[in-house]
Structure 1
Amino acid sequence: MGIGRKSAVAAIAALALSLAACGGGTTPNTEPTVGASELATEAQYNPQPRDNVKDGGTLTSDVPEISPQFNTVQADGTAYTLSFWRWYNPVMILFTPEGEWSANPDYLTDIKTEEVDGNTVVTYTITPEATFNDGTPIDWRAFETLWKTSNGKDEKYLVSSTDGYSQIKSVAKGADDKQAVVTFDGVYAWVGGLFNYVLHPKLVDYDLFNKGYVNNPHAELGAGPYTVDKFDQQNGTLSFKRNDKWWGDPGKLDSRVYKALEDTAAINAFKNGQLDITSVATKDKLAQVQPMVDQGTIEIRKSASARNGLMVVNSKHPGLEDAKVRQAIFMGIDRKVIADIAFQGLNYTEEPPGSFNLYGFQEGYQDNLTAAGYKYDKEAAGKLLDEAGWAPGADGIREKGGKKLSITLPVIGDDPNIQARAKAINSMLKEIGVDAKIEQKGSNEFSKVFTEKQFGLFPMGFSSSDPFGFAYFCQVYCEPSSLNASGTGSEEINKKIAEVAKIGDPKAQIEAGNKLETEIMAETWGIMPLTNGPTILAAKKGLANMGAGIFFVGKPQDIGWQK
């Protein structure tokens, strides 16, 4: 998901709905068990040509929170930020479910990639009509603004990722203002992951970039078929309407609405007809909507998921500073138990994931966590804690220097399945003498818990904006990085990642990246992949161009209701 990057999402089951769309569902309990590889070949989002979509109507869905930061490039932006951003800002690049990319002709008439004197040079030719809502032309300066704010050279810009942009030497005017020429320092492997979006030139202002979008969407600095209609922070709603300053095909929908709801409230709202689409990726949720499937009013849409469910281990939390303690926690968690809880009743199975850079259904994927030395082994975990000086206390909880090995474990939202996973983690860690104290948090507290690192252990997720996983190696493992909430890493690791990023051949970079990820995991023990899982959505019949789309990113104006 993103400016070409990974984004944070709440808990392990929460998903941001993509600008995608179909496919009907059969009764879930009668389907054969499938894995991610099978689901990766059958995205279900009801793809319909624009002429087969009705004019008018409203689309309403839920999100765990209306994230306070509306600037999707800023460090505190989440996957939800990106989902909102796409509805009222330029979407420059479109993606198929398989991850094939192409220029969005609403904004770009051509993208030319070539190698000149050993450097990748990409020339973007911008649609003449393309204009921001305040009248500022969308031209080469919009590309320059994104590069200047995201290349990492000016630390006053707090960005979510510098990956890729840090390897650009220049962004310059081409034949005229409506052409941007991007020149890299060397050969760059993942051109399709950059400049998926651009920024209004006003965002060169530090305060506007970092703080100006907090609880303020700034619709006047956007562009697209829709613009912000209403934002109600107190009630957690955000809606979009057609943009009368748009130059392309008008939006099919009259209104697009997001509502911030807890998991239980969301499934009830869907059953009551107040939502048009919602996640049903647990046995309980599927059972609740099954009568609606039987009645023929809704359908289940499934695909593989471009996200990681993970556990962050905060190295700055008391007791977790020592890598041996963090490794012990990894080895004290049986990921098969977590997966069994997560996927119970879903007729889905997967091998436990071993990388944050590629998914198991992608070419080049390797299980780097196992290669790093991870296995579920309570005895080995106990020995690591012994070596770190943590001895079992009278109650079984380990102690050192008069302090208990007690760690906060926030759980976001009221989904019973996520709560059950947290309880399982608590129970497993207690067996090795670690007290993981569960703290229940509301869905609207996700951004605060994550950005302020109010946790010792944190079950959450990464959501990918595109298929170019190793393009965002630094975002996941560098220190500092907004996504690496574990606080692990080092300058040496940063340098090694930078060297891998310079490899211009994608296959060679993936090979070198897998080796380095194995090395980093074995050294840091900071973020632990738990599951990937399927995307499973319940949608009202007729919802077109939206749903379980894997990497799909389409034109927002084509989403709507099938004729």
Structure 2
Amino acid sequence: MNKNLKLGGVVVVASALLLTACSGGGNSGGGPSSAGAETAGADVNKLISINAQPVDNLKQGGTFTLPVGNLGPDFSPFNQNGNNTDNILMLGPVNVAATTGCWLLEANGTPKLNKDFCESFDSKIDGTKQTITIKINDKAVWNNGTPIAADTFINSWKQLSGTIKENNIVTPGAWENIANVVQGATPKDVVVTMKQPTYPLSDLFAGLVNPAINTTKIFNDGFVDNLHPEWMAGPFKVDKYDPAAKTVSMVPNDKWWGEKPVLSSIVFRQMESAATIAAFKNKEIDIAGGRTINAFNQLKGTPDSEVRTGQRLFGGGLNINAAMAPMNDVTVRQAILTAVNRQEIAKVRYNGLNWTETPPGSQMLMPFSPYYQDNYPVKTTGADAAKKVFTDAGYTVGSDGKVVKDGKKVSFKITNFGDDPTALATVQTLQKQLQDAGMDVTIDQKGDNDFGKVVGERTFQMTMSGYSMGADATSAVKQYYDSKNGEFGVGDAAIDARIAKVSSIADDAERNKAAMDIEKDFMAKYFVPGIAFNGPDIFYVRTGLANYGASLFQTIDWSTVGFQK
């Protein structure tokens, strides 16, 4: 769950939600023309802008160059330090096996089978026993020539299920419900026995772990400054990783058995937000985020460019590290959420973009989801209300207005990443609100490329960041709110027991309602996360770029990305 969602269309099926920073690059959204967040029942077609074109309309060849805020140092999508939006975006063209596995998503979030890997995925229920049989594509092969076979599925389960306690996995999710995985009639047949019926099926094998990734040392550390292209499978392959130039370049993969790509190369460059503006104007890159008014206005009028807009699949705000003092005191977390004026935060963040939204109330689902409900735990907000939270819990307010307990001020830092002025102004607004409530708050400024390490290793007290949003809350409720593996480091056995039952509910509406009710109770008890905004996606692209942009949940088909004739 990490990092700055700098670009458009970064959606993966894998059940883990991705951490995303709040700096100024990004996908597309409301835009300078008046727009607002969509609520339940929205026509998703209004939220998509990808310039969809058939391959016949595209030039063969060409290079697509994209900026990312975070490039490594850990390139594994499966552990905490690499599970971020920039990393998943960069891996998308070269390692579809890891980023989507057996499943793809439609724009509205509906899953469909990825037949490049899994030709069939059948579930049968016999009493309370669920058995899943999978037929692997006969042509599927890793880049080193090893067939993608039953041993891949067996290893994926072993590495990601949580049974290897030392593995730094993001969340065991649905993997934890698997009792056994074995080879079927041939190496290309897989039989999965579940401990309990598990839904949705698309949470299973939505990312495949190469059998060579079979020790904790490799799993946790093997991808630090090393992409291991031989363990990948996708329409492109890594041509060169240049850590000095902070670039990854890729070319069509001669081992790929699926549709051949249109582009002759893709290049990802690590850049700070401000640098992307000049680079786009100079035609060094083909896309640049315009999600803040500063970036949008500077990019406006760039020759050979166009704006694409859509809804950002993101829930962000106050990412509080409940394991680090003083945030490990629930009173402090409650006071923080009480002190925050989310409307004022949004006003600063979307100033000039003509974007309006009601502050969201869920970290798991977008407001346009039919399953959404507002779970924000605080109704009365402001500095005085926050000070009352403190004093009711035995804190005192000194003559200088600072809140104190046992002689110590409530003091902490908000870590800000990148150089976008709107992002900094948003953090400064939050800082002032917390200071007005008696908290001693400073800003710890870091570069964009520090995000993955700092947040992955949880060496922060608070950041303004958030997570990608999925179309189903089943996996999210476990990733966020489980006491043993949850992102926020708090919870209890009673909530864990409720979480354990969610994935066994077959009915989509009933299952999501159960997940949302857990979130409501969790937030009311532990006062994390501090969800504050979703926001628009706005970015500039090179004129004629096709099949890429604001695509909601739709999985990027990198073989069709290219430029019009």
TM-score normalised by structure 2 residue count: 0.92
> 1:114 matched to which residue of 2?
124
Q: Tell me, what secondary structure is at the counterpart of 2:250?
A: strand
> 1:392 matched to which residue of 2?
397
Q: Is the 8 A contact 2:474 2:502 kept in 1?
A: no
Name which of structure 1's ranges 194-203 and 87-96 shifts more when overlaid on structure 2.
Answer: 87-96
Q: Is the 8 A contact 2:120 2:136 kept in 1?
A: yes
Asked if 1:538 is matched to 2:543, the reply is no
- The match for 1:326 among 333, 353, 372 is 333
Asked if 1:345 is matched to 2:352, the reply is yes
Query: What amino acid is the match of 2:338?
Result: M
Q: Is the 8 A contact 1:95 1:554 kept in 2?
A: no
Deviation at 1:34, TM superposition (A): 2.9
- The match for 1:34 among 21, 33, 36 is 36
> 1:290 matched to which residue of 2?
300
> 2:471 matched to which residue of 1?
467
Q: Is the 8 A contact 2:24 2:290 kept in 1?
A: no
Query: What amino acid is the match of 1:72?
Result: P
Asked if 1:306 is matched to 2:306, the reply is no
Q: Which digits, 9 at most, give the CA deviation of each residue in 1:453-499, with x for residues without a partner?
A: 232221112014x4222322111122343x61x42223443233113
Query: What amino acid is the match of 1:88?
Result: V
> 1:20 matched to which residue of 2?
none
Deviation at 1:115, TM superposition (A): 2.6
Deviation at 1:84, TM superposition (A): 2.2
- The match for 1:216 among 198, 219, 226 is 226
Asked if 1:165 is matched to 2:175, the reply is yes
Query: What amino acid is the match of 1:69?
Result: D
Q: Tell me, what secondary structure is at the counterpart of 1:47?
A: coil
> 1:70 matched to which residue of 2?
75
Deviation at 1:323, TM superposition (A): 0.9
Q: Is the 8 A contact 2:319 2:466 kept in 1?
A: no
Deviation at 1:204, TM superposition (A): 1.9
Distance 1:454 1:156 in 2: 19
Deviation at 1:98, TM superposition (A): 0.9
Q: Is the 8 A contact 2:338 2:378 kept in 1?
A: no
**Number of residue pairs matched?**
546
- 1:250-261 maps to which residues of 2 (within 5 A)? 250-261=260-271
Asked if 1:85 is matched to 2:95, the reply is no
Q: 1:76 to 1:202 in 2, by over 3 A?
A: same
Asked if 1:524 is matched to 2:526, the reply is yes
Name which of structure 1's ranges 49-58 and 543-552 shifts more when overlaid on structure 2.
Answer: 49-58
Distance 1:560 1:5 in 2: 29
Percent same amino acid among aligned pairs? 31
Q: Which digits, 9 at most, give the CA deviation of each residue in 1:214-238, with x for residues without a partner?
A: 1111000111211111112233211
> 1:557 matched to which residue of 2?
559
Query: What amino acid is the match of 2:352?
Result: G
Deviation at 1:39, TM superposition (A): 7.6
- 1:203-242 maps to which residues of 2 (within 5 A)? 203-242=213-252
Q: Is the 8 A contact 1:2 1:72 kept in 2?
A: no
Query: What amino acid is the match of 2:220?
Result: N
Q: Is the 8 A contact 1:65 1:236 kept in 2?
A: no
> 2:152 matched to which residue of 1?
142
Deviation at 1:14, TM superposition (A): 4.9
Question: Could you list the runs of 5+ residues in structure 1 that have no partner in the other structure?
Answer: 18-22
> 1:429 matched to which residue of 2?
434
Distance 1:133 1:267 in 2: 36
Q: Tell me, what secondary structure is at the counterpart of 2:213?
A: helix
- The match for 1:11 among 12, 17, 22 is 22
- 1:372-521 maps to which residues of 2 (within 5 A)? 372-464=377-469, 466-481=470-485, 484=487, 486-521=488-523
Q: Is the 8 A contact 1:164 1:471 kept in 2?
A: yes
Q: 1:39 to 1:530 in 2, by over 3 A?
A: farther
Distance 1:2 1:64 in 2: 22
Name which of structure 1's ranges 531-540 and 92-101 shifts more when overlaid on structure 2.
Answer: 92-101
Q: Tell me, what secondary structure is at the counterpart of 1:508?
A: helix
Q: 1:35 to 1:373 in 2, by over 3 A?
A: closer
Deviation at 1:128, TM superposition (A): 1.0
Query: What amino acid is the match of 1:230?
Result: K
Question: Could you list the runs of 5+ residues in structure 2 that have no partner in the other structure?
Answer: 1-11
Deviation at 1:447, TM superposition (A): 1.6
Q: Tell me, what secondary structure is at the counterpart of 1:204?
A: coil
Deviation at 1:13, TM superposition (A): 4.5
Distance 1:160 1:317 in 2: 19
Q: Is the 8 A contact 2:473 2:512 kept in 1?
A: no
Name which of structure 1's ranges 467-476 and 38-47 shifts more when overlaid on structure 2.
Answer: 38-47
Deviation at 1:173, TM superposition (A): 1.8
Distance 1:138 1:533 in 2: 39
Deviation at 1:191, TM superposition (A): 0.9
Q: 1:480 to 1:260 in 2, by over 3 A?
A: farther
Q: 1:333 to 1:39 in 2, by over 3 A?
A: farther
Q: 1:502 to 1:434 in 2, by over 3 A?
A: same
Q: Tell me, what secondary structure is at the counterpart of 1:6?
A: coil
- The match for 2:65 among 56, 60, 66 is 60
Q: Which digits, 9 at most, give the CA deviation of each residue in 1:141-175, with x for residues without a partner?
A: 21121111111122122211211111122222223
Deviation at 1:138, TM superposition (A): 0.5
Asked if 1:183 is matched to 2:193, the reply is yes
Q: Tell me, what secondary structure is at the counterpart of 1:88?
A: coil
Q: Tell me, what secondary structure is at the counterpart of 1:5?
A: coil
Q: Is the 8 A contact 1:61 1:276 kept in 2?
A: yes
Distance 2:256 2:509 in 1: 40
> 1:359 matched to which residue of 2?
366
Name which of structure 1's ranges 303-312 and 332-341 shifts more when overlaid on structure 2.
Answer: 303-312
Deviation at 1:547, TM superposition (A): 0.8
Name which of structure 1's ranges 416-425 and 389-398 shifts more when overlaid on structure 2.
Answer: 389-398
Q: Tell me, what secondary structure is at the counterpart of 2:249?
A: strand
Deviation at 1:518, TM superposition (A): 1.1
| Root-mean-square deviation over aligned CA pairs | 2.1
Distance 1:480 1:235 in 2: 39
Query: What amino acid is the match of 1:3?
Result: A
Q: 1:11 to 1:139 in 2, by over 3 A?
A: same
Q: Which digits, 9 at most, give the CA deviation of each residue in 1:358-417, with x for residues without a partner?
A: 110111100011xx3444233221111113333223332222222221111111001111
Q: Which digits, 9 at most, give the CA deviation of each residue in 1:406-437, with x for residues without a partner?
A: 11111100111110111101111111101211
Deviation at 1:280, TM superposition (A): 0.7
Query: What amino acid is the match of 2:497?
Result: K
- The match for 1:46 among 30, 47, 51 is 51
TM-score normalised by structure 1 residue count: 0.92
Asked if 1:275 is matched to 2:279, the reply is no
